[in-house]
Every structure is written in structure tokens, then in C-alpha cells.
Chain A
């Protein structure tokens, strides 16, 4: 390696930052300081990973992050950087530590080259998330959210352990690799791992935890649940599909098609006519995940990556804007009327742009992502692409239903304001939704670099 001297430094920095985050809790600092330190640390990691993320040859069996292949790591880091902005002051410094731990877990998981390391990564991420949901729970709904999330999460942890056991037992090694000869135990093990990842994505038929958990948690926790585990699980599924690990599962394309269509339809039907913003967004997010999984059924990695990125940007924008507009509450459509006339007009603009992006309105990244996703499956049976296209049409109903109140005339009610961080994140992500929809180069670059 040309840069042999500095390899591993990114990983050491990651560990060190976790320790620093934990230590900072002991020192009485101003509450915002820990957030800034966290953000600075993430920026540092983003700089380090492209050239100092690789590991000595021996370790590559465990973790694999050579310099040019760090797209997934950078995506996870960028998501976490966005999330630092929305952490509430009251939750700090504990929330910062938990986010840092989740990030570390996510980074390990997306770089894992070994099933046990992957498991460790996902579990670290999970524990951080359980902590975040529990830490912010102040009422029964919060406890319910935590309990549902925790129990279902534990069940899927058990799935993972069983899956890894089956894979390791038949393969004789825990290395993540491609199978040549199908074996029932391996197929069962891989199916269990796939189910666990789909659960993290919140896709049908494992989506049941999502709406209640989203609704019961405060906005900042919802934002984290809606983005960080999904980009980790999404990147992992994309990576494992790209390397053909799951290809031994028989009828995999059909399974993924059913999962994708089911996810879209369940999400869309659930989001339709929801009276409260957060629950609508929870179901809308489920529907969006279907479009990430759809192109994978045709083996189209780039399209899934583009949709994943557009989904994460959209989620960051809607949830941070929702936080600014709703504060501790969960607004109804009537609460949003006249938001353009208040001081909260910029989060309102971000929410409108992000919803338009989710709907696939022209000149947003959502439209390009939808086109990528549907074009990828045009070779499949007509029911698949026609179904996806019709679901897209149906989603207009609820997205435009929620865009409308901002333009309606009526009494102004919105006065909440969540703080500068959430507003800034909503603005940046909404800006990116529009810019990436018009400037195509970054997404095209992404599709070409995911498969390397």
C-alpha cells in the first residue's frame, strides 16, 4: 500500500472519538459543546476514511475498507453529521454519546467482511438506538415505542444469531463470501440475515414496529430512527447484493419484488388519510423503502443507491422541519396552515420541498430517483413496474394533501421553533434535494462507484 504508514488511522480515530464522547459526559461543559465536538469528529472521520480507512492485510478478513471503496462509509458518516444538527440541547451530552456509538456500529457494519463483525456492528447500532429512544421517553407513548422497538429488535437479533450460526456451521468460516453450491442450511441462514436487514429497513412484512415507534418518540429520535439504521441496512443490502452473497437464495428476485411492492402498497395505504404528520411520515417512509428494494430485485445496484440517498435526504428534511414546526407536538394538517407567514417559514419551505421530493415532483432528486428505481425493473413482468408506477401516482394523494395546508388561508397557529440546528439541517437537506435533482453529476458518480 502506498500510504501504508497511515492505514488504520481512521478506525483508531473512530474508537478514540467514542471514548472521548463518553468521557465528556463526566465533565460539566455547556450542553452544546458535546454536539460540536461530535460534529467535528465526524468531519474528521469523513476526511480520514478515503485515504486512511484501510486495514493491514490480516484484518481485511474482518473489516474491509480500501481507499476507493469508502462510499458506504461516507454515506453513513454524512447521515450522522446531519443528525448532529437535530440533537436537542436537553438530551445532551448523553444523546451525543449514544449517536456516536450508533455511528461506530453503523460504520463497522457497512465495512464488515465477517458475519460476526457485521452482527457486532448492527448490535452496537441497535443498542445506541434503544438508548436514544429510552433516554428521551417522557410519557407512556414513548415507553410503548421503546418496548415495541426493543422486543422486535431483539427477535431479529436472535434471527441474526441463528442465521450466522447456520452460515458458519455449513461454511466452516464466518467470512462473508459468495456461495457456489446451494445448501439448505446456508439458504436458511442467509434468508434469516436478509430478513433482519429488511427489518432494519422497516420493509414489509417486518414494518409493524415503525409507525408506533416513530409516533411515540420525540422528533429528534424519530429522525435518527428514520435515517441512520436505514442507511446502514440499505448500504449493507446493496453491498451484499452487489457482491452476490444472497444470490444463492432461490427465487430471490421474486422475493424482493414481492417485498418491494408489498412495502410500497402497505406504506401508501397507511399514509393515506393519516390525521397526524409524524404517523403519515412513518408510513410514507415505509412506502419509500419499497422503491429502494425494488431495483435490487433486478440486480440494479446504482438505482437502489440513488434512491437510498434521496430517501435519506428527504427524511432528514421532513423530520427536522417537522421538529421545527411541531416542537414536542405532532401537528395535524390544520396546525400547519399559515406556516409561511410565521418565523417558521423556512422549515415550512423545506417540508414542502421534501414532500414534493418524496412524491417525485419534477426538478427534485426524488423524481430522478423514482425514474432510476422504476427503469431498473422495466425488464421484469408488467405487474411489477406498472404496480410501482401506480403506487407512485397514489402517493400524490397524501403528499399533496399535506402540501396543501401551507398554501391554504386560515388562522395561523404555528409558533414552535426547535432551534437553529434543526432549521439548518432542514434547509441544507432541502437545498440538496433541489440541487441534486437538477445537477445530475453526483448521483451518476454514485451509481458508478457503488458497484466497485
Chain B
């Protein structure tokens, strides 16, 4: 388990010394070895607890649980595909020491946040995962990246500081671990819960606190977008899951409101996605809708809801980086990401459109792809505990299907005959590995969810 942190740590130290042509192989090797570790070495129940700053209540307490194991595996996988998507000298997929350094720092932070069993250590991981993205967005990407980076930093700073205030309020009352036996007074629970809600609403994000997300994704480079949407966005909902254990009364009382808020986010995200003219923006807004599913499931506070939420996170963590990678490739092929410029893409690059179809089907919730089991689980749980949300989920699904059908219709059809001259086999291009590394698990999780659930020791879907 410690190796998961030590390997990227060592990589960060030796990175400045590496010669330029070793950068990508080393980065890929680091991500691959962490993925293998996460897949084969972790076992739920492992834990480490070392005193670090005992006066502060900050201890180096790590543990693998049923819920963070899938996320750690996802973390390695998404980092690997982001690493494969980097390319030297390209503004949209940069391969420079600075970018790789900050991406790896974010990776280390995300791993720390996922593994943490200590409140302050989770905050440390959260900050490490969030702050590097300011530099990544500011550094490479579109023309308005400066504004996007400051949007990101502004929202994230508020979210991070609210989290810090909440964590410190608990820590000074000796609640330092997520599984500690200290019970929190009811009044304090509500205060902390409200502070935390601000964090989760911004970082998950929930409508209407999502404003930074389309900005950031619209301007960020492809690997940064892939990693941010794939894993870094999951740190907040995972935190919600963790903190619910120590604030049971507040969570219970807030549950109906929050479930409805999740439903509204789902519908709002779908509608916003439908309204976009830009492929990358469409993906970004669809992410908000998926986070709506996660929030509905988490707010209910049942084991089945938590599992469904983690499944949606995994599914979304596979589908959205894939779509961001596709959006980056589409821009290279078509010279534009506008939906109106998509017709004819299939003639130019059939393999890319095949990837696009798989990912779009996943977003539409087609059975057999990774988002389906989770979304189905959410609907089942919502049906049992909070049927009112179904009125929001139903239209949300329809709108989402319409959004992606529209994208597929344009990408697969149209175009002129002269476009059809495929100069080279597009499958063989550099970077396809990135797509494959996400598509195969996308199918695998979707087709055999029970196999994975067995691997994660969930004891079957409840």
C-alpha cells in the first residue's frame, strides 16, 4: 500500500534529472507500476497508522477499504492513459517536465486522499490534488486559459478552505480519524456539515456551483482534462462518503434535500450538455450530470447507495477521460471541436468514431458499459428510498441520450466523398493506447460487474 505513494514520490524526485527523451517512458512506467500495484497488491483491511504531527491531530493513517480500492485502481488507470496521451511539442497535449511534475503531484495527492483514514491527511491529499491543476491549466491549453485557471483556483480555494475549517472544527474536539469512536455533538455536526457541503458543492460539482468546470475543461490540455475529470473530481464525493460516517445525524437530516439537489444537478447537467455547441464542453457538462447520480446515491446513506455511487464514479472515471481524449483527437483531425464541424469524421477516422460511439453509449447508460450498473443501482436505491428523485432522473436520462445521439449522428454521418481517402490507418497512430486502456475496462466493468465486485470484496450488489 505504501508503495502506491513511494513510487510516484521517487518519480517526482528523479524527474528533474531525467533526459527529455526518457520523460514519457518513465512517466508511463510509473503509472503502469502503480496500476499493477493497485490491481493486485491491495487488500481491504490493510492499514497503517504512524504519528506524524500528533499535536495537530495529523497522523499518517492509511487504509484500504472496499470503497477506496476501486477508486485507487481507477486512479492508476486514468493516470496511465493521461500519460499515454502526452506528446512533445503539442500545446493541447504537452510533454514537459513541469506538466508531468504537477500531474504526478496531483496523482500523489489523490492517492493520499483516497487512502487516508485521518481527517487532516485527507485535507492534505485534497489540497495536493487540487492546487497543481491551477498551474496545469494556466500553463497549457486554449486562449482563455488564464481566466479559466483563476476561476478554478478561486472556486477551489474557497472549497479547500471550507474543508479545512470543517476538519479543524472536528480535530480540536479530538475527532481525528474517519472511524474514531468519538461522537460529534449534534449542533457541531450541522455546522461542520454545512461547511463541508460548500466544499462538495463546489468540487463535485453540484449545480449551480459548477461554473468553474466547463471553463477549466474547455481550456485545459487533454491530459490535464482527462486526469481532472477522471479521478480528481472523485476526491470530493469520496470525501462526502467518508465524512457521512462521522456526521450521522446531520447526514440523515439533510438526506432528502441533498437527494433532490443531486437530481436537480443531474437534470441541469444534462440540459446544459444539450445546449453546448462544443464537444469538449458537452463532455464537461455531462460530467455534472453523472455527479448528480453520485450525489443522489450518497445522500441516501445506505450501503447499497454507497456502492452504487462508487460504481458510477468508476464508470464515469472511465468514460469521461476517454471522451476528453477523443475530443482532443477530434480537434487534431477536424481542426475544430464544434459539433457543427463533426460531420464527415467517420470517413476520415473510423476508429476514433468507434471509440466515440462506445463512450457516448456509456454516457447514455446503455447496458454492457461501465456506467450502466452504477446508474441502474442508483435508480433502484432511489426508487426504494426517495422515489421523488425519479421525476428528475427520468427526464435527465432522456436529455442525456438526446445529447449524445446528436453527437453520434453528426460524427457518424455526413461529409463529402473526398474526405474518404484515409491516408493512413488511424488505429496505428500514437495515442490510441490511451483510448484502448480506457475502452477495454469500460466494457469489462460494464459486462462483468459481478467479477469486479467480487474483486473488491463487496459481497455482491445489495
- A residues neighboring B (CB under 8 Å): 302, 340, 349, 361-363, 367-368, 371-372, 374-375, 378-379, 385-386, 389-390, 392-394, 396-397, 400, 403-404, 406-409, 440, 443-444, 447
B56 at the interface (CB under 8 A from A): yes
Contact B127 A400 (CB under 8 A): no
Q: Which residue of A lies closest to B146 (CB)?
A: A404
Contact B55 A447 (CB under 8 A): yes
B338 at the interface (CB under 8 A from A): no
Q: How far is the CA of A48 from the CA of B161 in the complex (A)?
A: 45
Render B366-392 as a binary contact track against A, CB cut-off 8 A, 1 for contact. Answer: 000000000000000000000000000
Q: A371-B53, A400-B135, A408-B139 are contacts. A378–B157 as well, Cβ < 8 Å?
A: no
User: CB-CB < 8 A to B125: which residues of A?
Assistant: 362
Contact B153 A371 (CB under 8 A): no
Contact A396 B157 (CB under 8 A): yes
Known: A349-B16, A392-B161. 20 other contacts (CB 8 A): A302-B55, A362-B109, A362-B124, A368-B56, A371-B120, A372-B55, A374-B164, A374-B168, A375-B56, A375-B168, A375-B171, A378-B168, A378-B172, A386-B165, A389-B168, A393-B160, A397-B157, A408-B138, A440-B53, A447-B55
Q: Which residue of A lies closest to B162 (CB)?
A: A389
Query: Distance in Å from the Cβ of A367 to the closest Cβ of chain B?
Result: 7
Contact B139 A407 (CB under 8 A): yes
* B1-44, CB < 8 A from A: 16
Q: How far is the CA of A375 from the CA of B169 in the complex (A)?
A: 9
User: CB-CB < 8 A to A340: which residues of B?
Assistant: 97-98
Contact B157 A361 (CB under 8 A): no
Which of A379, A394, A406 meets B157, CB within 8 Å? A394
Q: How far is the CA of A371 from the CA of B124 in the complex (A)?
A: 11
Query: Distance in Å from the Cβ of B48 to the closest Cβ of chain A?
Result: 16
User: CB-CB < 8 A to B55: which residues of A?
Assistant: 302, 372, 444, 447
Q: How far is the CA of A403 from the CA of B55 in the complex (A)?
A: 31
B131 at the interface (CB under 8 A from A): yes
Q: How far is the CA of A218 from the CA of B3 in the complex (A)?
A: 47
Q: A378-B172, A400-B134 are contacts. A393–B128 as well, Cβ < 8 Å?
A: no
Q: Which residue of B lies closest to A391 (CB)?
A: B161
Render B97-113 as a binary contact track against A, CB cut-off 8 A, 1 for contact. Answer: 11100100000010000
User: CB-CB < 8 A to A378: which residues of B?
Assistant: 168-169, 172
B158 at the interface (CB under 8 A from A): yes
Q: A372-B56, A392-B161, A444-B55 are contacts. A362–B127 as well, Cβ < 8 Å?
A: yes
Closest 7 CB pairs of A and B: A393-B157, A407-B98, A393-B161, A378-B172, A362-B124, A389-B161, A362-B128
B52 at the interface (CB under 8 A from A): yes
Contact A407 B135 (CB under 8 A): yes
B58 at the interface (CB under 8 A from A): yes
User: CB-CB < 8 A to A302: which residues of B?
Assistant: 55
Query: Distance in Å from the Cβ of B127 to the closest Cβ of chain A?
Result: 5
User: CB-CB < 8 A to B134: which residues of A?
Assistant: 396, 400, 404
- B residues neighboring A (CB under 8 Å): 16, 52-58, 96-99, 102, 109, 120, 124-125, 127-128, 131, 134-135, 138-139, 150, 153-154, 157-158, 160-161, 164-165, 168-169, 171-172
Q: Which residue of B lies closest to A345 (CB)?
A: B16
**A-B interface pairs (CB < 8 A), number:** 87
Contact A375 B157 (CB under 8 A): no
User: CB-CB < 8 A to A385: which residues of B?
Assistant: 165, 168
Q: Which residue of A lies closest to B138 (CB)?
A: A404
Contact B165 A444 (CB under 8 A): no
Contact A379 B131 (CB under 8 A): no
Q: How far is the CA of A361 from the CA of B172 in the complex (A)?
A: 21
Query: Distance in Å from the Cβ of A381 to the closest Cβ of chain B?
Result: 13
Q: Which of B97, B120, B138 has the largest count of A CB atoms less than 10 A from its CB? A: B138
Contact A368 B168 (CB under 8 A): no
Query: Distance in Å from the Cβ of B93 to the closest Cβ of chain A?
Result: 14
Q: Which residue of B lies closest to A437 (CB)?
A: B53
Q: Which residue of A lies closest to B112 (CB)?
A: A362
Contact B158 A375 (CB under 8 A): no
User: CB-CB < 8 A to A362: which residues of B?
Assistant: 109, 124-125, 127-128
Contact A396 B164 (CB under 8 A): no
Query: Distance in Å from the Cβ of B108 to the closest Cβ of chain A?
Result: 9
User: CB-CB < 8 A to B96: which residues of A?
Assistant: 409
Q: How far is the CA of A409 from the CA of B94 in the complex (A)?
A: 11
Q: Which of A371, A372, A390, A400 has the largest count of B CB atoms less than 10 A from its CB? A: A371
User: CB-CB < 8 A to A406: which residues of B?
Assistant: 98
A-B contact pairs, 7 of them (CB 8 A): A361-B128, A361-B131, A394-B157, A396-B134, A407-B139, A408-B139, A444-B54
Query: Distance in Å from the Cβ of B194 to the closest Cβ of chain A?
Result: 12
Contact B171 A400 (CB under 8 A): no
Q: How far is the CA of A393 from the CA of B130 in the complex (A)?
A: 12
Contact A389 B153 (CB under 8 A): no
Contact B172 A400 (CB under 8 A): no
User: CB-CB < 8 A to B160: which residues of A?
Assistant: 393
User: CB-CB < 8 A to B16: which residues of A?
Assistant: 349
Q: Which of B52, B54, B55, B125 has the largest count of A CB atoms less than 10 A from its CB? A: B55
Q: Which residue of B lies closest to A395 (CB)?
A: B157
User: CB-CB < 8 A to A389: which residues of B?
Assistant: 161, 164-165, 168
Contact A368 B158 (CB under 8 A): no
User: CB-CB < 8 A to B53: which residues of A?
Assistant: 368, 371, 440, 443-444
Q: How far is the CA of A371 from the CA of B97 in the complex (A)?
A: 31
Q: How far is the CA of A443 from the CA of B54 in the complex (A)?
A: 11
User: CB-CB < 8 A to B164: which residues of A?
Assistant: 374, 389, 392
User: CB-CB < 8 A to A386: which residues of B?
Assistant: 165
User: CB-CB < 8 A to B172: which residues of A?
Assistant: 375, 378-379
User: CB-CB < 8 A to A374: which residues of B?
Assistant: 164, 168
Which of A349, A371, A403 meets B135, CB within 8 Å? A403
Q: How far is the CA of A394 from the CA of B131 in the complex (A)?
A: 13
User: CB-CB < 8 A to A408: which residues of B?
Assistant: 138-139
Q: How far is the CA of A302 from the CA of B55 in the complex (A)?
A: 10
Q: A362-B109, A362-B128 are contacts. A371–B58 as well, Cβ < 8 Å?
A: yes
User: CB-CB < 8 A to B120: which residues of A?
Assistant: 371
Query: Distance in Å from the Cβ of B187 to the closest Cβ of chain A?
Result: 13
Q: How far is the CA of A302 from the CA of B56 in the complex (A)?
A: 12
Query: Distance in Å from the Cβ of A45 to the closest Cβ of chain B?
Result: 30
User: CB-CB < 8 A to A367: which residues of B?
Assistant: 124, 127
Q: How far is the CA of A76 from the CA of B232 in the complex (A)?
A: 43
Q: How far is the CA of A368 from the CA of B120 in the complex (A)?
A: 11
Q: Which of A390, A400, A443 has the largest count of B CB atoms less than 10 A from its CB? A: A400
Q: How far is the CA of A386 from the CA of B158 in the complex (A)?
A: 11
Contact A400 B161 (CB under 8 A): no
Contact B153 A397 (CB under 8 A): yes
Q: Which residue of B lies closest to A406 (CB)?
A: B98
Q: Which of B135, B150, B171 has the largest count of A CB atoms less than 10 A from its CB? A: B135
Q: How far is the CA of A361 from the CA of B124 in the complex (A)?
A: 8
Query: Distance in Å from the Cβ of B58 to the closest Cβ of chain A?
Result: 7
User: CB-CB < 8 A to B54: which residues of A?
Assistant: 444
Q: How far is the CA of A280 from the CA of B57 in the complex (A)?
A: 33
Query: Distance in Å from the Cβ of B117 to the closest Cβ of chain A?
Result: 17
Q: How far is the CA of A363 from the CA of B98 in the complex (A)?
A: 18
Contact A396 B109 (CB under 8 A): no
Query: Distance in Å from the Cβ of B305 to the closest Cβ of chain A?
Result: 31
Contact B158 A393 (CB under 8 A): yes
Q: How far is the CA of A294 from the CA of B171 in the complex (A)?
A: 19
Q: Which residue of A lies closest to B130 (CB)?
A: A396
